[in-house]
Structure 1
């Protein structure tokens, strides 16, 4: 039985210096036996932390499918591109298959996390000092591990589709092959298992963090939020009656993805989301807003919206954050900081995560309209304009009209040429023009933007070398958007659609739909889609949205940006910066070839 715990216990085994054969024949005092790991709360805490380590780390976006268990989600969507070569380049060219190590990387990591969680659950009851101050940590930690196991299955299914459910008991590392040779479960079975496991944990967890030590742990609200995410994936067209997977069957003929579209899946999602929003135990969650602006910034509604939409990602564990993770943000912040010529290190980065023209154009105008619907918008020419940054007051300058009078979230998300740099102590005006201070002509390597933009969201305001405590994983605005998407597909006349959509727009500082604002859109699905795109920009949502809605064949075929080989005015002419390959098989990742060879009853995904 002890052999099954190699993943959980491995990080806890501390090996000393071996000086002689006599020493090698001893059991070192500082090396924990398996039973000792589960005797005391302090070592159980470390074992549980090891299970949490499987949660993908947004901070490692620069090294997709190589570090932090994070995939190529940002730059393999139509939001962005990387100048720095990495796995996203392979994905976007279509030059990947089931033999790639990156394909195997996530499969193995999530199944290791699942095995570690099962092993932990089977043994946490051995703890002798886990009842502290009346808190039953055995029960709490058991349910945290159980929820994490379900969450890792969720990550697997949205990436690979239906997977193999291993069962609730840990599998011995020396188990015979026939004992682990299981075929894939159906998508509906996977989702039902994930949901039932998350539901089962809620009663054994605090509803929300009860103390500072609880932040970052799974609680009832986090489990319910992941349940909503799983139901959303199940309801969208990729897995809900998709004829493209008619032939995706196990060897015994079992259909893995239902061929009948079910409206009940949307209703189930809407019910779960509404239950979350109406749960009095979660009443402390609210959209993050500010009542005043920083010193020197006029206290206008526009400026308050800018500060709120910026700082919801920066203010640690604010009232909107349901779940967040810590991590070293050095790599991420370097990626989005422009390579300002001659600037000090805090204000000089790589600028190689490049925001697309598509996402720039997706943001509304200050009038709450799409750029193509607002007669006041023009992409040509320049105007004197002042961005809402704290260090940019009373200093309007001539910038492209593409960036004039846009909504507050635009200024939260995008660094463009003519924008003052984010550091309040800096006087740098970023220029991505060819000979600008962050332009391609001054850079001999890959540290430049392909598109003439870099993302600004998530970036701390004190320079790229300043650490930040957390990255948001799930926040309340996402639950709102999940809810209204479900209502639109199941009960489009429900008044909650406008109520919750307008709450997001109100916090964003743009006019509301109806009620004396702007006209209620005739295409409400399109309006919800657009609101989600800008509200959750650069939050690892867009990649999965375009795939689960089966629109990636349209959205993910190219990246557009500015002409970085020119100075103004030619620089501001949008061009295609990258053509991409997207085929139907790319909606799902392939099952790793090694797994299919090892367990032949696992059938490969369609097209691979």
Structure 2
């Protein structure tokens, strides 16, 4: 798709009727000037920008999550486009996560919106001496100012979504005309892009209300608005990526002629890690820290003190239909967790000690789900676990109600529990509200711990905030052991992030920024075979290989879409594509 394909198109005003499509989400029968003079209509334009925020629950092909393109999961349907990531059969023409056009369309919306905010006609209130009218005028004036910073944050967010996929991208921050010449468009350097995004976060953080409780709104739907904490959280994530290996080590790119597009200038890595830790600490210090409550319930709400920024979706049951076990009414298997992920959940020995799960330990192998990190049961449906409405025990063993050889049964031996509203009876078409969390406090805690460990190993805050993630209500896993080396602490933090954020679209990017793609994404995806003794009913669990995955160095970044290379010969393709 072409960048210019998503510029705002304006229809001619006709004598009896007119139409104007300022974006794909806001269509009206009045003219452009009338839209921009209306307080309510301009607010609707902002809402349309919010609609471009990602929803990772039904992401690829309306069904697969990005985690099915990692070592976390396998998507059951072979025909879903997500499988291209795993087989290596994606390129500049065919990319399952084809967001270049989507985010440039959103950026275009923001640029036009920022012009529109200066044209809203507030004279009906401004010129009315009535005190109530003056109050409305001041309220609306403040709202317009706030909207501009919300939009600038959303633009910065969209740019980072592009940067983490492509590296440096064109920064188009003016409302260009439909017939603008894009043939000379070039990519900005990665450094340019990072600095721009951080600057926009800083500006938004200075102007926006602290959090949802301080927003000058009253409706429940306003809880999804951008806040100061949202801007600080994005800055934390951006600077963590900027300090990480991928954006500081272009060695994978085999002598790429334009390293400034994929890597930051040589510099003090400790300074970058410190900037990342400082950014995370700014979020931590900005407001009283919330108590981390129940883990499972977190993903079916939008109003939780742990959540910093979320996309709230309407009531539905599509996620449940796609991901419920195959033997349940209308279940389609969907995104099925891997044994690779299951093995990452530790075994709790006692209140102070947890150890890695080990299939070579006969006690663990005989009862592989005993004493595991409680988040395993809250995230993953295993054999013989109770699930659903009406509820029953899931039969993932061979010839069970939910296991092989049933067509479309899980290939991994697991089903997904996270996000599912298990109280929904799909036969009755019950629905519920789902939320896609973009930022929440545990990410900030682990960002802080990760960055601190790189430039200030042994800092006591590393353990404090690592432990805070593991001590939430209903989890209470042992804290970070003392006496670990810097490398051991690094691996502990990485594993904690893997477990805490399973199926939240972190793994795909974390492994890349750590430059561990070949290790994790080029390795076999594993599952488990389960047999049941007909006499005793005992289960035997045997790990297996589900499929061999492919990861080449070029996959650290996405290829620039071929159509845009055709438009502007000055846009340079990413390495090895």
Query: TM-score higher than 0.5 here?
Result: yes
Q: Over residues 49-84 of structure 1, what are the superposed CA-to-partner deviations in whole Å (9 max), with x where a residue is unaligned?
A: 1111211112323xx1x55xx995210111001011
Give me the whole-angstrom Cα distance separating, in 2, the residues matched to 1:475 and 1:492.
Answer: 25
> What is the DSSP-based 3-state SS (H/G/I as helix, E as strand, rest coil) of the residue aligned with 1:562?
strand
Give me the whole-angstrom Cα distance separating, in 2, the residues matched to 1:318 and 1:177.
Answer: 44
Q: Which has the higher strand share?
A: 2
Q: Which residue of 2 aligns with 1:603?
A: 572
TM-score, structure 1 as length reference: 0.81
Question: Is the counterpart of residue 260 in structure 1 residue 266 in structure 2?
Answer: yes
Q: Over residues 186-220 of structure 1, what are the superposed CA-to-partner deviations in whole Å (9 max), with x where a residue is unaligned?
A: 11111011000111122221111224433111111
Give me the whole-angstrom Cα distance separating, in 2, the residues matched to 1:116 and 1:71.
Answer: 27
- Check conservation: 2:188, 2:261, Cα contact below 8 A: no
The aligned runs of 1:191-590 (5 Å cut-off) are 191-209=194-212, 210=215, 211-213=217-219, 214-245=222-253, 247-250=255-258, 256-258=262-264, 260=266, 262-279=269-286, 282-283=287-288, 285-289=289-293, 308-328=294-314, 330-340=317-327, 343=328, 345=329, 348-367=330-349, 368-372=353-357, 378-381=363-366, 401-423=367-389, 426-443=390-407, 446=408, 448-463=409-424, 465-507=430-472, 509-513=475-479, 519-522=482-485, 523-557=488-522, 558-563=524-529, 572-590=541-559
> What is the DSSP-based 3-state SS (H/G/I as helix, E as strand, rest coil) of the residue aligned with 1:369?
strand
- Check conservation: 2:321, 2:332, Cα contact below 8 A: yes
Q: Which residue of 2 aligns with 1:186?
A: 189
Give me the whole-angstrom Cα distance separating, in 2, the residues matched to 1:260 and 1:81.
Answer: 38
> What is the DSSP-based 3-state SS (H/G/I as helix, E as strand, rest coil) of the residue aligned with 2:82?
helix
Which ranges of structure 1 fall in alignment gaps of 5 or more residues?
Answer: 16-22, 290-307, 382-400
- Check conservation: 2:380, 2:415, Cα contact below 8 A: yes
- Check conservation: 1:287, 1:477, Cα contact below 8 A: no
Change (3 A) 1:7 1:349: farther
TM-score, structure 2 as length reference: 0.85
Change (3 A) 1:141 1:485: same
- Check conservation: 2:82, 2:96, Cα contact below 8 A: no
- Check conservation: 1:365, 1:374, Cα contact below 8 A: no
Change (3 A) 1:594 1:375: closer
Q: State the 1:223 CA deviation.
A: 1.1
- Check conservation: 1:366, 1:510, Cα contact below 8 A: no
Q: Which residue of 2 aligns with 1:390?
A: none
Q: Which residue of 1 aligns with 2:51?
A: 53
Q: State the 1:266 CA deviation.
A: 0.7
Q: Which residue of 2 aligns with 1:161?
A: 167
Q: 1:145 aligns with which of 134, 144, 151?
A: 151
Q: Over residues 66-106 of structure 1, what are the superposed CA-to-partner deviations in whole Å (9 max), with x where a residue is unaligned?
A: 55xx9952101110010112121111101111111646x30
Question: Is the counterpart of residue 40 in structure 1 residue 38 in structure 2?
Answer: yes
Change (3 A) 1:145 1:102: same
Change (3 A) 1:365 1:570: closer
- Check conservation: 2:250, 2:262, Cα contact below 8 A: no
Q: 2:115 aligns with which of 114, 122, 134?
A: 122
More divergent stretch after superposition (253-262 vs 222-231): 253-262
Q: 2:94 aligns with which of 89, 93, 100?
A: 100
Give me the whole-angstrom Cα distance separating, in 2, the residues matched to 1:361 and 1:536.
Answer: 15
- Check conservation: 1:76, 1:91, Cα contact below 8 A: yes
- Check conservation: 1:8, 1:120, Cα contact below 8 A: no
- Check conservation: 1:234, 1:265, Cα contact below 8 A: yes
Q: Which residue of 1 aligns with 2:85?
A: 91
Give me the whole-angstrom Cα distance separating, in 2, the residues matched to 1:527 and 1:422.
Answer: 33
Give me the whole-angstrom Cα distance separating, in 2, the residues matched to 1:198 and 1:189.
Answer: 14
Question: Is the counterpart of residue 80 in structure 1 residue 73 in structure 2?
Answer: yes
Q: State the 1:259 CA deviation.
A: 6.0
Change (3 A) 1:24 1:111: closer
Give me the whole-angstrom Cα distance separating, in 2, the residues matched to 1:372 and 1:411.
Answer: 15
